[in-house]
Structure formats: C-alpha cells, structure tokens
Amino acid sequence: MNKFLGLLVFTLVLLGCSSDDEGPELLQVQSNTFTNLYAPQTGGQGQGPIEGEFTRFDFASGNTTTSNTEWDIAFRGTSIIINGGVSLGTTDEPERTGTGAAYTATGTFAEIATVNSSQFVQDSATGYAIPSGSGNGWYSYNPMANTIEPIPGRILVIRTRDNRYAKVEILSYYKDVPEVITPEIAADDLRYYTFNYSYQPNDGTESF
C-alpha cells in the first residue's frame, strides 16, 4: 500500500509539472469583416478646412467606440490615424493616449502572417503612420470617375494601443461594397469602410 501511495504521489507531481511547463493557454486570433464603418467629414476639395470627429475602432471588441482612450485606429474621410504618437494638427483629431503604431505591408491578407516590428512608425506632426494621398497608403484616386479605390495587396499592420497586433485589408470605401461605383454612389454613398481584419489578443505574440 505504501509503495502504491508513493507511486500515486509521484505521478501527480509529474502531471503538475507538465501542466506548469505548458504555460497559460493562448487566446484565439480573432478574424472578421467589418461592414460600413461610416467616417464622415466636412470640408476639403475646395470646401474649406477638413473637420469632423474621427470614427474610432477597437480591435479587442471588434466594434466602433466613443471612448477617448480605448481605441486603436480611427477614420475620417480617407485618413486613418493610430492611437499612438502625436497629432498632425488637423481639426478634431483625438488625443493619442496609447502606444499604437503602424506600417503598410505588401502581399495578400493571408500572406502577411507575422509582424515586422522594425517597420512600425507612429503618427507625428509631419505625417500619419498610414500615409495620406493617392498611391501613398491604402488607396488610389481616379479623377476621371471621382472614385477612391483600395490598392490591391496593401495590408495595414497595426500595433494596438496596448501592444497587441492586428492586420487590416480595406475592401471598399462605399456603402454595401458595390460591384460597380456609379456616379451617384461616388457622390452620395462614400466614406463607408468595409474591411477584413485579424486581431492577435496575446501579449508578445507577433503572428496571426
């Protein structure tokens, strides 16, 4: 009996050590498509200075937010800002309270499977981490059709406000992702972002 009890205790100790060695269970990467995030602005294109609140998005909840602190990226017109760094100085920019940063990667959404931490930059007084302007960041502008079109193969890699990671593929800038952008849609149904995203919720994990 004593030998049996000793063997049982030894087995339980081994099982406990094995469990400890495995470490905490990792959370699953969250992947989803967000449809019709509305990012209005006033002004621009000869109509005065660009103004209006940015629409903020939180990857952890997978939704927009009105919080002044718990947001990761924010949208206004074609501009996308990060909760990290400092303001460019445009009207109505929210204060950066996090450590967020970003860079633009080239490849398919599936191909961008890991983070290149050496490429991260933050918003600054001289420019956004995700550059503005046609061909510079995520979109190109077609002056003949007056349309904004996502550049194929441009993936936004984000360091969130609390040092997690996300990647974003913008699919459309128009409401309900129309297959054909008519002049009416280009004039009336713009500034509605639809995008794929993956969010890595585990601290220190740089893969998706």
- pLDDT band, very low/low/confident/very high, at 60 (cuts 50, 70, 90): very high
Tokens of 190: 């713009």
pLDDT recorded at residue 8: 42
The answer to whether residue 1 is domain-embedded is no
Whether residue 14 is contained in a domain is answered as no
Residue 2 lies in a domain: no
The pTM assigned to this predicted structure is: 0.87
Among 31, 3, 203, smallest CA distance to 112 is for 31
Whether 43 is covered by a domain: the verdict is: yes
For residue 106, give both structure tokens. Answer: 């080239």
What share of the chain has pLDDT > 90, as a percent?
85
Quick one: pLDDT band at residue 4, thresholds 50, 70, 90?
A: very low
Give per-residue pLDDT as tens, 80-100: 999 999 999 999 999 999 999
Domain contains 94: yes
Q: Which domain holds residue 107?
A: 27-200
**Mean pLDDT for the stretch of residues 30-58:** 94
2: pLDDT strictly greater than 50: no
Tokens of 31: 């992947």
Averaged pLDDT for residues 193-199: 98
What is the predicted pLDDT for the residue at 21?
56
201/24 Cα distance (integer angstroms): 13
Domain presence at residue 9: no
In a domain, 12, yes or no: no
Going 61 to 63 to 68 to 69, the CA torsion angle's sign is positive
pLDDT tens column, 156-165: 999 999 999 9
**How high does pLDDT run on average in the chain?**
91
How, if at all, do strands 55-58 and 63-65 pair?
A: antiparallel
Residue 112 lies in a domain: yes
Angle at 40 between CA 119 and CA 58, to 5 degrees: 50
Q: What is the pLDDT of residues 100-151, one digit of tens each?
A: 999 999 999 999 999 999 999 999 999 999 999 999 999 999 999 999 999 9
Closest by CA position to 160, among listed 90, 74, 50, 48: 74
**Local confidence band at 23 (pLDDT 50, 70, 90 cut-offs):** low
| Integer CA distances (angstroms), 122 to 88, 113, 127, in order | 11, 21, 9
- Structural domain tally of the chain? 1
